[in-house]
Amino acid sequence: MASSTTYGDWMRPIAGGIRNIGKPLTAAGLGVLVITLILSMANVFAAIAFGVAGIGAVMVLAVRDRQHRNVLDRTVERRTWLSQVNTGRALYRSGMLGMVESGQCRLPGVLSQVSLIECSDGFGNRMTLIRHAHTGEYSLPLACQPQGAGLADDDVEDAYVASWAGLLEYLGAEAGVTQLAVTVDTSPDSGVRFRRNLSRRAVEDAPDLAKLAMAQIMNQYASGGASTSTVLTLTFRYANARDGKWLGPEDAARRIGQLVPDIKAHISAAGGGTARALTADEISRMTRVAYDPAAQDILEEADDKPDVTWEDAGPVAHEARWDYYRHDSGLSRTWQMCDPPKSNVTSSTLARMLGPLADCDRKRVTVLFHILPPDKTAFLAEQNRQAAANQVAQEKRASVSAMGQINKANRQAVETNQGAVIVFFGLMATVTVRCGADEDLRLDAATHAVEGAAGSAKIDLRPCYGAQDTGFAASLPLGINLRNYTPPSILNTL
């Protein structure tokens, strides 16, 4: 039973400006009025025509849909995707038939300049960092074993949530932390590990009845189950104090390794169990299976685990379409969160969406957190409070939404003065089905399942139109920080 404690009071950044249309559009509107007044001194009719056209354009751009996009955003989104299709950047080939000289199956797109670094943490334990050469960032993936709150008392569950808030505050106080991502991946269990574990415990001189019972257990319980993995990925970005350049792998690994013991302690207090750093082989296997779901059975059925190197963890081929992504043996669709729940929620709101869903071969949900440092938190809270107050002052009769915004902003300012930090968060969801017969129908069925689960969680999802390949990569537990990403020149050659 979930705790009755509710959580909420999150708010979108207030655009500001006249009627909350945004500061750029407000400046453009004022510029149109100034130019109109100047033109009126020379030609009144030209001034009227320019003023009507300019103000009309501002009014059109000020209208946004439920996904907070205007007509310019939708046009740029569509034209950008068409440009990728026309130039061939929506297609990718690797391996022996690709353009990579080594014949390796390299990762495409935003993962093309990502590599793995093996090092040690503060206690001398081995860990693997993911290096993002295009942003100068390093990511540390930690596998967690959440204890769950199914049998936990209300006070224990509330303590988990409070400890998670403590982890965010701890990360916000640490310089260099740019992102925290929690990825929950659910997939059907092939039953290979289950059969292998039972077979190891069987003896040759066992009674016939015991052998028969063991065989029936293997047949009934080895298939039909679901496998769930939870990975917490921290992303860091350090700069040298003398020259401002990004730190090298050795210096970054030393600074990150010093934080690992405290981070693991916070994760354990938040109900995440004993966290451990993933090895390079585990990261490579996880990425390989994500791009090629059929490889999971091959990797699990092999008696001797085949080595999967990072250079061969990518797909042999992919094709990024407008609203879906085809990669090797999988067909995927990725969504991004447009709006959080409008009302307060409980700790179990995301339970259905995070758990296994029918009609979904594989499902991955990634929650992204960007924590503001304490020195910027109070400043932003005051900005939000002033913007909300200005919005109410501009309305003759303040609307319910405007009053709700100012109430949230006031509470936010009070809590930040008491030591709380501001956290920007988002959510990405990816569903994958196996390629084959009726793949389109199965993808539609999986889409309805995910959107239905998001609806029950009161989350507004939107497909990553025209950027399905980037959304797929960003939802992987590899620490991709799209806010700092700049497309490298290598993307134009692959």
Strand partners, 317: 93
CA-to-CA distance for 129 and 143, rounded, in angstroms?
13
Mean pLDDT of all residues in 233-249? 82
Q: Check residue 247 and give its pLDDT.
A: 83
Q: At CA 142, angle to CA 138 and CA 147, rounded to 5?
A: 155
CA-to-CA distance for 240 and 252, rounded, in angstroms?
10
Q: Do residues 481 and 179 lie in contact, with contact meaning Cβ atoms separated by under 8 Å?
A: yes
3-class secondary structure, 27: helix
Q: Is the pLDDT of residue 124 over 60?
A: yes
Q: Check residue 488 and give its pLDDT.
A: 46
457 φ/ψ angles, rounded to the nearest 5 degrees: -85, 0
CB neighbour list of residue 379: distance below 8 Å, 6 or more residues apart:
none
Q: Where are the alpha helices (DSSP H) in 7-153?
A: 23-40, 44-62, 71-87
CA-to-CA distance for 336 and 333, rounded, in angstroms?
10
Q: Check residue 191 and give its pLDDT.
A: 61
Q: Is the pLDDT of residue 303 over 70?
A: no
Q: What's the maximum distance between 2 C-alpha atoms anywhere in the chain?
A: 106
Per-residue pLDDT of 331-375, as tens digits, reads 999 999 988 888 888 888 888 898 888 888 899 999 999 988 877
Per-residue pLDDT of 202-235, as tens digits, reads 777 778 777 777 777 766 665 656 788 999 999 9
Enumerate long-range contacts of 347-352, CB under 8 Å, 24 or more apart: 347/2, 347/3, 347/5, 347/7, 347/149, 347/157, 347/160, 347/161, 348/2, 348/149, 349/457, 349/458, 350/457, 351/2, 352/453, 352/456, 352/457
Mean pLDDT of all residues in 258-279? 90
Q: Check residue 377 and give its pLDDT.
A: 84
Q: Do residues 54 and 32 lie in contact, with contact meaning Cβ atoms separated by under 8 Å?
A: yes
Q: At CA 231, angle to CA 229 and CA 233, rounded to 5?
A: 165
Per-residue pLDDT of 427-461, as tens digits, reads 999 999 999 888 899 999 999 999 999 988 889 89
CA-to-CA distance for 146 and 275, rounded, in angstroms?
9
Q: Where are the alpha helices (DSSP H) in 316-458?
A: 351-354, 374-394, 400-417, 439-456
Q: Check residue 220 and give its pLDDT.
A: 66
Q: Is the pLDDT of residue 413 over 60?
A: yes
Q: Check residue 493 and give its pLDDT.
A: 35
Q: Considering the chain, what is the average pLDDT of its residues?
A: 84
Please report, in angstroms and rounded to a whole number, the separation of the first and last CA atoms in the chain.
51
| Higher pLDDT pick, 484 / 140 | 140
CA-to-CA distance for 262 and 268, rounded, in angstroms?
10
Confidence band, pLDDT 50/70/90 cuts, at residue 193: low
Q: Check residue 73 and give its pLDDT.
A: 85
Q: Check residue 431 and give its pLDDT.
A: 95
Q: Is the pLDDT of residue 112 over 60?
A: yes
Q: Where are the alpha helices (DSSP H) in 63-207?
A: 71-87, 154-173, 192-200
Q: Check residue 461 and give its pLDDT.
A: 92
Q: Do residues 307 and 281 lie in contact, with contact meaning Cβ atoms separated by under 8 Å?
A: yes
- The amino acid at residue 438 is D
Q: Is the pLDDT of residue 492 over 50?
A: no
Top-ranked range on mean pLDDT: pick from 88-92, 246-250, 366-370, 413-417: 366-370
| Higher pLDDT pick, 361 / 491 | 361
Q: Check residue 139 and give its pLDDT.
A: 94
Q: From residue 248, give the alpha-carbon distance in Å to each of 186, 283, 429.
A: 35, 21, 33
Q: Check residue 3 and give its pLDDT.
A: 65
Q: Where are the alpha helices (DSSP H) in 174-272?
A: 192-200, 208-221, 249-269
Mean pLDDT of all residues in 73-90? 86
Q: Check residue 155 and give its pLDDT.
A: 80
% of the chain with per-residue pLDDT over 90: 29
CA-to-CA distance for 428 and 444, rounded, in angstroms?
18
Q: Is the pLDDT of residue 473 over 90?
A: yes
CA-to-CA distance for 117 and 141, rounded, in angstroms?
12
Q: Check residue 403 and give its pLDDT.
A: 81
Q: Which of 18-27, 126-135, 281-290, 316-325 has the lowest mean pLDDT?
A: 18-27
Q: Check residue 284 and give its pLDDT.
A: 93
Q: Check residue 491 and give its pLDDT.
A: 36
Q: Is the pLDDT of residue 85 over 70?
A: yes
CA-to-CA distance for 202 and 206, rounded, in angstroms?
7
Q: Check residue 432 and give its pLDDT.
A: 94
| Higher pLDDT pick, 239 / 475 | 475
Mean pLDDT of all residues in 186-202? 69
Confidence band, pLDDT 50/70/90 cuts, at residue 478: very high
CA-to-CA distance for 41 and 51, rounded, in angstroms?
14
Domain boundaries along the sequence of the chain: 64-189+227-373+421-492, 192-223
